[in-house]
Structure 1
Amino acid sequence: MSATTVTPLSMGNSNAYLLRGEQAVLVDTGGPEDGDRLRDALSAQGLQPRDIALVLLTHGHNDHSGTAASFADVGVPIAVGLGDEQLLRTGRIGTLPVSHPAGALLKPMVLRAKARPVEADILVEDGFDLSAYGVDAHAERFGGHTPGSLVVRAGDDTLVGDLVRGGVLRPRSPKRHFFTEDAAGVRRALMTELDRRPRRLLPGHGGPLDADETRQRLDKVAPVAAEVR
């Protein structure tokens, strides 16, 4: 199989990532308002939505799955981690425990957003080999941020969704996410992935993040006993 490249596609508030090998896989789709932006980003890569072999969602929150329905409309299969499928069916965020002081301020705005509902074609229970979709990459479900949160390993990069974020003012600085359902799960997932020694972590917001710096800041990014409310 040909080498797989990872191209970040900034949606403004969040990131999508394009994996390209023999085919193209899209990881996350931005928010409900990002349809035109995402189509333009794909067009700049010489692609149309129907050219995507698979849409893989790091989790079901609608700032990452917000335009997934438009890909389903043209026959692209949608994959999400087991436990997040109901988020796609409703198009709403759902449970949103605050894990960072700023999260309490952001929560009302985040809960108002709604995406067009979509049904997942594939539920990732544990590991998921993406070679059938033309890319040399592997996804694994850990939970943590949401029950279905997963990571994607592609070469020296690990796409981590919302397990960690880049800073608002310093996007390359690893920070604790504003919302987390299972803080222990987030820490376990990050420790597992950092032990694999990736070069970069590619988060759902901000980044890219240096893996070594994230490891050094792990107790702040994913504290052992994070306050979640």
Structure 2
Amino acid sequence: MQQQTTWNPATSLSVTAPGVYFAEGPAANWIVVRDGTGFILIDSGYPADRHHVLASLRHLGLDPADTVALLVTHGRVDHTGSAAYFAEEFGTPVLCAPEELAHVRGTEKHQVSLAQVLGRAWRPRVMRWMLHAIKAGALAAKPVSGAQAWDAAALRALPGRPEAVSLPGHTPGNAALLLPGAGVIAVGDSFVTGHPISRSGGPQMLHRMYHSDPAEALAALRKLEGVDASVILPGHGPAVRLPLGAALAAIQGRVPETP
């Protein structure tokens, strides 16, 4: 996990495909997708990552006020951290799956519970993650009351022409976003390639305490079988260049860790 005080877009922002930029944040990631029609953001880190998100756009020579839309893979605070700011400051449309809209708007809550965390807080990795999340503003995150549900036509009209794949289980409306022209898929927390409480890297499921329905989250990955993507951009951990099918096979053959 990178330290928040040392985060630098020059070293933490990478080009994963033409027009697709991956920002590996202090503990959660975001993505910039750019083409001749403008640019969008996918996810936006924790609330305290806002200045990192803004810095990453400016590093690319982009004006944050010109963000065409901010797409949210799911409504947890480490992915919606800057969404309310963009909506209020720049009028940026914030879009998510219809099934996730109540979560993003703040009328439902699908976060990991305090009891789940405290029950494991004696483990150093969990304690460090919990302290970082608190410092990063997890307890003071602001919902996006004006968020709207996407549909296929609205997504196709955006830079990168993203396509949503519904993958419920992490949260009820969790989704991945495929960028078919680039061979890239943003999987959010459907699966990750690393996490502060994990002892290893590579494609893996988050610990079960993070999922609203762990069994459904794992089963939903079957919907990604046959999807043509060779660059995987997770919500946590580094980007990986790996056929999506190989990543799914690795996850299925992996024994879950017990932090």
Output the TM-score relative to the length of structure 2: 0.72
| Aligned: 1:218 with 2:243 | no
Q: Residue 248 of structure 2: SS of its match in structure 1?
A: helix
| Aligned: 1:20 with 2:34 | yes
Choose from 154, 161, 176 the match for 1:136.
Answer: 161
> In the alignment, is the contact (CA less than 8 A) between 1:88 and 1:119 conserved in 2?
yes
TM alignment of 1:1-229, pairs within 5 A = 5-21=19-35, 22-73=37-88, 74-90=90-106, 94-96=110-112, 104-105=120-121, 106=126, 113-124=139-150, 127=152, 129-154=154-179, 155-168=182-195, 173-178=202-207, 179-209=210-240, 210=242, 211-220=244-253
Distance in 1 separating the partners of 2:157 and 2:200: 33
Q: Residue 26 of structure 1: SS of its match in structure 2?
A: strand
> In the alignment, is the contact (CA less than 8 A) between 1:66 and 1:116 conserved in 2?
yes
Distance in 1 separating the partners of 2:113 and 2:247: 23
Flag the 1:136–1:88 CA change in 2: closer, same or farther, 3 A: closer
| Identity %, equivalent residues | 26
Distance in 2 separating the partners of 1:222 and 1:53: 41
Flag the 1:65–1:138 CA change in 2: closer, same or farther, 3 A: same
Output the TM-score relative to the length of structure 1: 0.81
Question: Bigger CA drift: 212-221 or 103-112?
Answer: 103-112
Distance in 2 separating the partners of 1:217 and 1:192: 16
Which amino acid letter does the alignment assign opposite residue 141 of structure 2? A
> In the alignment, is the contact (CA less than 8 A) between 2:205 and 2:251 conserved in 1?
no
> In the alignment, is the contact (CA less than 8 A) between 2:155 and 2:161 conserved in 1?
yes
> In the alignment, is the contact (CA less than 8 A) between 1:57 and 1:64 conserved in 2?
yes
Gap regions ≥5 residues in structure 2: 1-16
Which amino acid letter does the alignment assign opposite residue 105 of structure 2? R
The alignment yields a C-alpha RMSD, in angstroms, of: 3.4
> Number of residues paired by the alignment?
221
Shift of 1:108: 5.9
Shift of 1:50: 1.2
Distance in 2 separating the partners of 1:120 and 1:221: 40
> In the alignment, is the contact (CA less than 8 A) between 1:59 and 1:161 conserved in 2?
yes
Which amino acid letter does the alignment assign opposite residue 167 of structure 1? G
For residues 4-59 of structure 1, the C-alpha deviation after alignment (integer angstroms, 9 at most, x for no partner) is 62210122111100111222110001101011111100001111221110000000
Shift of 1:94: 3.9
Which amino acid letter does the alignment assign opposite residue 93 of structure 2? P
Distance in 2 separating the partners of 1:115 and 1:86: 15
Say which structure is richer in strand: 1
Shift of 1:194: 3.4
Flag the 1:207–1:91 CA change in 2: closer, same or farther, 3 A: farther
Gap regions ≥5 residues in structure 1: none
Shift of 1:75: 0.9
Shift of 1:207: 2.6
Shift of 1:157: 1.1
> In the alignment, is the contact (CA less than 8 A) between 1:92 and 1:114 conserved in 2?
no
For residues 98-123 of structure 1, the C-alpha deviation after alignment (integer angstroms, 9 at most, x for no partner) is 9x999943486558622122224321
Say which structure is richer in helix: 2
> In the alignment, is the contact (CA less than 8 A) between 1:165 and 1:176 conserved in 2?
yes
